[in-house]
Every structure is written in C-alpha cells, then in structure tokens.
Amino acid sequence: MDPIGNLPLYINVLKEIDAKRQRKIILRELIIALLIIFVFSFLGEGLMNFLKIQPDTIQIAGGIILFLLCLKMIFPPAHSAKEKIPSSQVEPFIVPLAVPLVAGPGVLAAVMIYTRQEQNSFVMLGAILIAWLATLGILMSASWFQKILGERGILAIERLMGLILTLIAVEMLLSGISTFVRGLHNHTAAIMGL
C-alpha cells in the first residue's frame, strides 16, 4: 500500500484543505480503498477464472507491475507525480487517493495471489487489515511526518520502501515463472507419455 511513498502525494493533493477536514478525507478514501481490496480478495479469483487467466499469469503480471511501480519510487522521473496531481479547492473522491495510490494494481494483484495461496481467508483478511491500519496511521500523521522528516527524509524512506518492494516484486515474478515452467514441463511430460 506504500503509505510512506504516498505521503508526499497526499500532502500535495490536500494542502489547500484544513487539517481537520484532511483527516476526514484520508479516512474516507482509505475505507474506500479497503473495500476495493476486500472485493478483489473475495471475487478476484472468480473473475480470473471467468477470464481464463492462470494463477502464474497473475503472479508474473503482478510482479512486473509492482516492479515498475518500485522503479518509479527508487528513481522518480524528472517531473514527479507530485507535480502531475492537481491540487484544487474540490475535494478528491476515490481517484487518486483511494485508487490508484492505495488500492493500486500492485496491491490488487498481490491480494489475489496471496488469497489463492492462503487457505484460511481470515488470515488473509487479517493481514490486509493490519497493512491497512498501518497505512491509516501513517497517512493520518502526514502533516506530522512532513514536519519531522522534511522532504528529504520522506524521499529517503520512499526509496528504501521501493527497494524492499522491488525484492517482493522479483520474488513474485520468479515464483510465477517457476510455476509456469513446472506446469509446462508437466504438460509436455504428459504428452510425451501418450
């Protein structure tokens, strides 16, 4: 969910709104993001089955998407996303704060992959809720973090998180490729056996 990486974006989008209202907006947007993540947790596999998309495809695609997002965190473009998101007097609703900043493609792909791997759905829902609560705590403290860490501190933490998430993305990608190769090998062996 990358709350540290999203801190500067949240600060920029909400800078024209008073602090009390900011907290209400952040809570609302994070609740929307949580609901979207829960929906993908429960219905994502059914949707993938309907579209005839294999689990290894989801893992490979999720790993690639997460990897690309992480590269942007580690090596931000010259004109960063902070400048692209307009700040206006109108309150943001769902886009961009809930989707794609919190419930982005990397999170949704990861949720579908890990939900499939974890047999106990309560464990998965608990993990999502713990990550969401951590995100809520960090984003609700956005103005405090900005004062304490400063812009350079937030940037350093964002890059560190990007590095950690890159490792997770590569692991997802390798796991998906490994599953695909095993399935291909088993399929080939079955054909040769006939």
pLDDT 10s digits, 85-121: 444 457 888 888 888 789 877 788 788 878 878 888 8
What is the reported pLDDT for 87?
A: 43
pLDDT at 155 over 50: yes
* pLDDT tens-digit readout, 68-88: 877 877 887 775 544 444 444
Under the banding of pLDDT at 50, 70 and 90, the label for residue 38 is very high
pLDDT on residue 85:
45
Distance separating alpha carbons of residues 100 and 61, to the nearest angstrom: 17
d(CA 33, CA 188): 42
How many beta carbons lie within 10 A of that of residue 173, not counting itself? 19
Residue 183 pLDDT exceeds 90: no
pLDDT, greater one: 89 or 4: 4
Find the domain containing 117 and state its range: 3-193
Query: What mean pLDDT value characterizes the chain?
Result: 82
Task: Tell me: pLDDT of 136 over 90.
Answer: yes
Q: What is the pLDDT of residue 62?
A: 75
At 74, list the tokens: 């580690």
How many structural domains is the chain composed of? 1
Using CA atoms, how far apart are residues 46 and 25, in angstroms rounded to an integer? 32
Q: What is the pTM of this model?
A: 0.68
Nearest to 170 by CA among 39, 23, 64, 98: 64
Q: What is the DSSP letter of 77?
A: -
Confidence category of residue 137, pLDDT binned at 50, 70, 90: very high
The pLDDT tens digits of the residues spanning 12-29 come to: 778 778 878 889 999 999
pLDDT of amino acid 79: 55
pLDDT for residue 153 is more than 70: yes
Distance CA 1, CA 135 (A): 7
